[in-house]
Structure 1
């Protein structure tokens, strides 16, 4: 067991350097793949991705074994909590940048192109036929005409699904703290199922947008902001669902108890954050 006055520091871990190599290889390959700079970009990207996945398995396995052996004390627990808080804060800033781009485009750029305020001369000399409106693919009609996704179909259904998943993960958390293992596993599994269902409906929505609405990533500024915001959110839901699956197996193996279960709490925090981001998306991207 870890001593109360000592702070556990692992020795000779290879995972930081292996992870750094994997991330560099992934991004280097992705950059060359996207820019068609040589034939090595695509395989390098997948090699780097494989290294990153291998690193995650190895590093998380080491952390889980250290936790089970009792290497961590209350000081380490505080460090984990602070680390997760800062991670979620960085994710808030990440999405804040995209929401900020959406706000700036709608409230400033598009009206200026239409002749308001500072855009008077731009409108007069370059785009005098452009009438500012949202959604828009710009004065150049980039990507051709398109239709928007109705918020009262799949987006509303996905909103209800994620709100329900917040309830199920909260019930699972209370079950863990109360020592009701069966209830914990059932509601944790329901949360995983709801997350997977959300991703299925989002994929269906994307196919519908591409095939029937002509709404693509190339549909001007609206298409790019729509797919960047919803796409990155979908990626976060995917990661959150994988994390929930891992935690379900850990719960099944009895890795957590009433007092020591921050691994579960961290994933629950992340899942609630993903749900809040979707509510903002539903309001500012689909409805407004």
Structure 2
């Protein structure tokens, strides 16, 4: 039988299962946010089914790579291109939030006082030199420890790779915990005008990506402990590292724009009332 360099995937139920689970999660989330009965139940059901489908799908991919040897050089190249395209799509996703933020902040309308932050938010914005700065340092440090892990894998140093990846996971959990505390203690909510909407949408979706990246790294930690990664074959870790560094870069832009620049009051614009006399 002719053996080519590509891998023809066997029929799998996980793509349709994942799509169906995501559909239930989104519908349940919308129902919950509009206070419909059973909305919270369907939201949690969707999340549970989605995580289960993802776990089983990843299990099959790990089997194909580690135990069946189906991930040839051509397959790995395709996976790298696929991950790169996915990250580009994520860049476009966050670009929309930055567009909304700068559209509202660079030319504030008269309804919010023609200033940014809006008149009713000036005393409520976060101090960028406190919790946001701490979270920035934590996330940057996690990127450094993840790079340490990558070099340890390339050097066949399992001990250092395990320690550095564990530290990365700890820092990721710490970042999420501190951001959760920030949200709980925030003096404003997502319903507080355009400032609250743009702030929570951008930072909230970034927090969601941190959680997804943390799950990605947890899978990598399990595989690292079980000797799935070698010097020549660790595409799963590479994909996770690319994703995590993308999360780092997005947070830097969020910190600089939303917390630092966005929290500085802009000069008020003088509004002159013209009276037309016939």
TM-score w.r.t. the length of structure 2 is 0.88
The partner residue of 1:158 within 117, 125, 135 is 135
Give the whole-Å Cα distance in 2 for the aligned partners of 1:170 and 1:239. Answer: 19
Question: How big is the shift at 1:204?
Answer: 1.6
Are 2:5 and 2:75, in contact at CA under 8 Å, matched by a contact in 1? no
The yes-or-no answer on 1:287 pairing with 2:260 is yes
Aligned pair 1:199/2:181, yes or no? no
In 2, the alpha carbon distance for the partners of 1:192 and 1:42 equals 29
Q: Structure 1 residue 244 and structure 2 residue 217: aligned?
A: yes
Aligned residue pairs: how many? Answer: 259
Cα distance in 2 between the residues matched to 1:145 and 1:73: 57
Q: Which residue of structure 1 aligns with residue 101 of structure 2?
A: 102
Q: Which residues of 2 match residues 44-193 of structure 1 at below 5 A?
A: 44-68=42-66, 69-108=68-107, 110=108, 113-114=109-110, 131-136=113-118, 147-193=124-170
Partner of 1:32: 31
Question: Alpha-carbon deviation of 1:160?
Answer: 0.9
Q: CA deviation at 1:157?
A: 0.9
Q: 1:120 aligns to what?
A: none
1:29 CA drift (Å): 2.2
Root mean square deviation of aligned Cα:
1.8
Pair 1:13–1:131, CA change in 2 (3 A): closer
| Equivalent residue, structure 2, for 1:22 | 21
Q: CA deviation at 1:154?
A: 0.9
Distance verdict in 2 for CA 1:145–1:103, change over 3 Å: closer
Moved over 4 A (4+): none
The structural deviation recorded for 1:41 is 2.8
User: Normalized against structure 1, the TM-score is what?
Assistant: 0.85
Which consecutive residues of structure 1, in runs of 5 or more, have no partner in the other structure?
A: 115-126
Cα separation, 2, equivalents of 1:264 and 1:6? 22
1:35-84 per-position Cα deviation (integer Å, ceiling 9, x unaligned): 344x2433222222222111111100000011112012111111110110
Aligned to 1:123: none
Report the Cα offset of residue 146 of structure 1. 5.0
Does the 8 A contact of 1:195 with 1:237 survive in 2?
yes
CA distance in 2, matches of 1:147, 1:43: 34
What CA deviation, in whole Å up to 9, does each residue of 1:121-144 have, x standing for no partner?
Answer: xxxxxx6xx63111116xxx5xx8
Q: How far apart are residue 145 of structure 1 and its match?
A: 7.5
CA distance in 1, matches of 2:191, 2:28: 23
Greater RCO (CA < 8 Å, at least 6 residues apart): 2
Once the two structures are superposed, what CA deviation does each residue of 1:203-230 show, in whole Å capped at 9, x if it has no partner? Answer: 1211221xxxx22112211111111111
Structure 2: give runs of 5+ residues left out of the alignment: 262-278
